Structures are given as structure tokens and as C-alpha cells.
Chains A and B, each alone.
Chain A
Amino acid sequence: MTRISAKYLAQRLIISYLTILVIMTLLFVLLHSMPGSFIQTMQSPDMTGEQIERLKEQWGLNEPLWKQYVDFMVNYQTGEFGWSPHWNVPVWNLIERRLPRTVILFGATTITGFMIGPLVGMYLGWWRGTKRDRSIFTGGLIAYSLPSFWIAWLFIWLFSFELDLLPAKYMRTQFPQEVYGTGFEWTAMMAMRDVLWHLALPLLSLTAIGWVGSMLIMRTVMQNVTEQDYVFLARAKGLSERKVMIKHAARNALIPVATGAIVGIAFILDGAVVIENVFNYPGMGNLILDSVLNNDHPTTQAVFFMLAVLLVICRIIQDIAYTYLDPRIKFGEEES
């Protein structure tokens, strides 16, 4: 079954690594083209010129630009992300705690989105031109046009305020001792259930808009696939409609969905940044906004970098999934 060769994987990894290097360079240029420097946010009016100089010296801003660049590249690759002037802790400490939370939200949505989207797209493409196709497609487009934070507010209002079913804030129960009585201790099972419980609403609001992207691609491809000869042949063989749709048509229609997946994944990541701020979910999206608004450049830089790396990793996974889906493609093998 394995169609993936070591050579192909190595090739992808090298390309990803180069991409990350380019992204880092871009980031460096971006933040150094900023007017003024972030030292300005740390200095107070009664500081002498000497003190400001010392501050600059401390943050390495007096070095020549090329040295700053080299330092930056070396530091980032060795996992040294610097010191956050706003929170006054190493940046890595912030990221280390927040990255897994974002990965939970973002990963869960990506999975639900890419389960629902292609499935709906498959049926819509199969029923192309019918009234059902048109109405669900239109509904999907409207869902795609919803501002994510607004629909999240509506969900909070419905599920949290009116029905009182789901929590609307944070990632875990705050002060569990008050809720469950004193002497309460988290067990692993309890903690997991609590996190999932709090994840429900953010996941719902993010999935409500995140499923459409893959549905649109799947529907278009499915429409074209159903005209193909091999679908006709599969029907002629006497296979059931369901089998033709799933085994013959959908399997091929999934390939373009897999190649275009990164756009949808990036869309969901954008949504996650907004949704985290709606629900006070303590993830990377929350952190990047706080650090941008507080002029905390080292943290902004690092969060942006980690999100970019997250997408690069998704890209690798996408490429691997793609080779499994398409039996015709053999990457990195000798051509006979």
C-alpha cells in the first residue's frame, strides 16, 4: 500500500525547511521595516539618553543589521525565541503552554470540517442541478459569508444564555473547588471531559463556517467526475448507485480536495485566531493579538512563526495524504 518513498519524503522535508527559512527572513524584514523600535514602548519619559542606550544594548539593537539577522536565524533554529518585554518571561514559556491549546481547537475543527465538507460536497455533486443541491449549496455559501465572531456570539446566546447547556468562556472550569466543592482534585478523565465540554461551542462555531471550503471543491469536481466513462462503466457493471458514488466517483473527486486542502486549513486557522478571542480561549490567536496590541515584538514574531510552521507541517501531511489517495501518482520513484 505504501506509495511513499523515502526520497519523496526527504524532498518534501527539504522544501519545507527552505520555506521556513524564507518565512523567517520575511519576518525579520517585516519587523525591522517597522517605524520606530519596540524599545520606545519600554522607555519612560524620565529616562536619560544613557539609559535608553543601555536598553538598546541589552536587546541587541545596536548590532549591525547583518549580525542581528544571523543571530535571529540561528536563535530561532535552536529554539531560542527571546524574552517577552510585556510579560517579562521567556517567549518560549508562553508558546509552550499555548500552542497545544490552539492545536487542539484547530486540529479538531480541521477534522470535523474535512469530514463534513467533502461528504456534503459528494452528495451535492451527485445530485447536481436538483432543488436539494441548489438549496444546500446556497446555504453553504451563506454560511461561508458569516463573520465567524458574530455567529459565535449567536451560538453563545442560544446555547449558553437561553438553553444554559454549554460553557461560553475559557478552556477549563475556572476555580473547580467552588463548583465541585473543596478538596477537588483534577483527574485525567475529568480534565479531558472538561476540556471537551468547553471546546464544544468554539468547535461548533468554527465548523459552521469551516466546512464550506472543501464542500465547494468537492461539489465542482464531483459534477465533472460523474460524466466520466468509468462511472458509466461502473453503472453498466450493475453496481448499486451508492457503491458507484462512493467507491468510483468520490474516491477520484477527493484528489483535488486533498491538493487544495491547505487553503481550507489556512482559512480554519484564521477562524481559530478570531474564535479564540471570542471565547477567551487561551491559545496562540489570543496571544498574538495581545502582543500586537502591547507592541511586544519578540512574542509577535515568535507566535507568527509558530503558526507558519504549523501550516508547513499541515502541508507535509497534505502531501502525504495526497499520495495515498491518488493511485496514479508515484513520487520520487524511478520512471520505467
Chain B
Amino acid sequence: MTRVESAKQRWGPRIERLGRGWDRFTQHLMGPAGLLILTVFTLWALFPDLFAPHSIDWEAFRGEPPFQRRLTAQEIEQLPHPPAFGDPFFAPLGTNAQAHGIASLLVYSAQTALYIGLAAGILSSLVGVPLGLISGYYGDTWIDETIQRIADIMLGLPFLPLVIVLVAMRGITTTNIILAIVVKSWINNCITIRGEALSLKELAYVDSAKVAGASDTRIVFRHILPHVLPLSFVFLAQDAAFAILTQASLAFLGLADFTTASWGLMLQNIQSHGYVFQAWWWLLPPGICITLVAAAFYFIGFSMEDVANPQN
């Protein structure tokens, strides 16, 4: 048998399985729609200078830095400026009260949102999935009992107040916001993965692996983990969406990292400057972006669920 053939034999079924999964994923428009939205935001995050009309330091009337002059009183009175196309400057979504272009801020903020979402999602999976697997595999022993008691107590804690206290305590930085979110969001993963592991470990193939002399670690991570991976991706996507929304809420409450541009911070700014009901071009776009990126993660998560549970 040639090498090509053996590789074909080895990879053929896997590719076929991936194809079937993709078919189920694309059965409804939701999954592809989520992917499309996410792709756009990822492109924004990776190449902001290609999509943004100006650099992030651009200011209305004065253009790109270095600035030659100060804003005149007359110009300041015109801020926040509604969308303008060429006269007196080009800003497709208008400007905010500090003369920054809304469209540019939107594009440059995509990085923060995706970073917070993915980091929180991946971190809570890294904590929740192994703990859930261990808890489920050693079901009904003291290990399981301990992990489940901790999860149980954490589940009863009010999430947002906890995050508020943690962030206010440790300092308002993006990293601290992510960590504070992860403190709570691993629990859902852990509980669901535990349930899956509990039923998986009763299956015959686990017994045969045991008879073959596999260690507990090997059984858990080689034989059980692959079966719960699709499910853990579902939770990763949901945690990511939830983290982005939490960051927006924190920003609204005044607990945003003021050094990085983010959609939540834009909304906090409109409130602190008091233009919530006067400047629709400033109010609507950041909210729509937050909704879209969170919805994209939820869409992908729920379409993944169809892939993970093919019986429906």
C-alpha cells in the first residue's frame, strides 16, 4: 500500500465526518450568518487601517495629527457632529464630543471585543472542561463532591456584583475584567461536561481501555475528551458572547479600561457627555456592533449544538 493510500484511508473518514458536521452546521442560515459576521469583525480587528476611514487619532476639523491649531469655539459648538461627507470633513458616522470619528472608533474597537470574548471563552473552557471531566469521571467520590459543591456555591453568587467588586479591587484593566468574568463563567461548562462524562464513562469502550491498562489520565483526556469537545465549543462561543456583554455593562457602570477603545466605552462616553438622546449616530452603532458580535457567537454556539447532538 502506498503512502498516499494509507493516508487516504486514515483521513478519509475524518474528512467525511467533518463534511457531515459542516452540512448540519449550514442546514439553517444561523450558523453561516454568525460566521460571516465574525469574519467581518475579525478582519476589522486584524486590519483596522484598511477599513477605518481615518486613523484612531484623527479629529474633526483638524485632520490627522500632528495638529497645527486648536479647535475654535465655533467648531467645538458643532460637536458632536452628525454624519458628514466631505463638508466640512469626511466622517461617515459623524463624530463624538471629543471630535473623534465614530466610524474609525468602531473599527478600532473590534480588537478589544474579540480579544475579551475569545480570551474569556477559552480561559473558562480551559478551567471548566478539565474540572468537569475529572468530576464526571470520578463521579460520586469526594473529588466529584468537592468540585460540585464549589460550583454549586459559585452558581448562587450574583455574577455582576462579584465582577464589579473584583474589578474595582484589582484595578480596571482589560486583563482583570477577563479574569473576573472567568471566575464565574467556567461553572456552566463544568456542570454540563460533568453530566456528559458521567454517561460516557459507562460505555463499553472505556471499560476496554481500562482492561488494556490505560491510566485514568489517558482515559479521561484521550478517550472521553474528544467526545465532549463539540459541546465545549458550544460553551466557548456562549461564554465569549456573555463576556462581551458583561464588558459592555461594566463600561456603562464606569468600570471600563479607559486606555483602550471599546464599544462599551463609546457608550459610556455618550452617557457621561450627556448626548444619549441627541446624537443617534453616536448611540446606535456601538450598540448594534455589540449585539451583532454577541449574536454571532450565540448563533455559532447554537448551530454547533446541532452538530454536537445530531439526534434532533
Contacts and interface: CB of A to CB of B under 8 A. Distances in A.
Contacts of A5: none
Given A142-B291, A147-B291, A311 B157 contact: yes
Interface residues on A, range: 35 or more
Contacts of A303: 161
A161 interface: yes
Contacts of A30: 165-166, 169
A23 interface: yes
Interface of A: 19, 22-23, 30-31, 33-35, 128, 134, 138, 141-142, 144-151, 153-154, 156-157, 161, 223-224, 262-263, 266-267, 269-270, 273-274, 277-278, 285, 288-289, 292-293, 300, 303-304, 307-308, 310-312, 315
B139 to A, nearest CB: 18
Contacts of B152: 19
B contact residues, range: 35 or more
Nearest to A303: B161
B127 interface: no
Contact of A147 (B169, B254, B290, B298): B290
A133 B266 CA distance: 35
Contacts of B264: 147
B266 to A, nearest CB: 11
B3 interface: no
A144 B153 contact: no
Contacts of B267: 147, 149-150
Contacts of A308: 156-158
| Chain B, interface SS category | helix
A33 B170 CA distance: 10
B249 A149 contact: yes
A306 to B, nearest CB: 10
Interface string B259-279: 000001001000000001100
A153 B275 CA distance: 11
A304 B162 contact: yes
B36 interface: no
B252 A147 contact: yes
Nearest to B164: A292
B312 interface: yes
Given A23-B157, A147-B245, 14 more contacts: A134-B28, A144-B298, A150-B248, A157-B276, A263-B188, A266-B158, A269-B160, A274-B160, A285-B161, A292-B168, A293-B254, A303-B161, A307-B158, A307-B161
B30 A273 contact: no
Given A145-B295, A293-B254, A153 B283 contact: yes
Contacts of A23: 153, 156-157
Contacts of B241: 145
A147 B249 contact: yes
B301 to A, nearest CB: 9
Nearest to A149: B252
| Minimum-distance CB pairs A-B, first 3 | A145-B294, A270-B160, A150-B287
Interface in B147-204: 152-153, 155-162, 164-166, 168-169, 188
Interface centre among A128, A142, A147, A224 (most CB of B within 10 A): A147
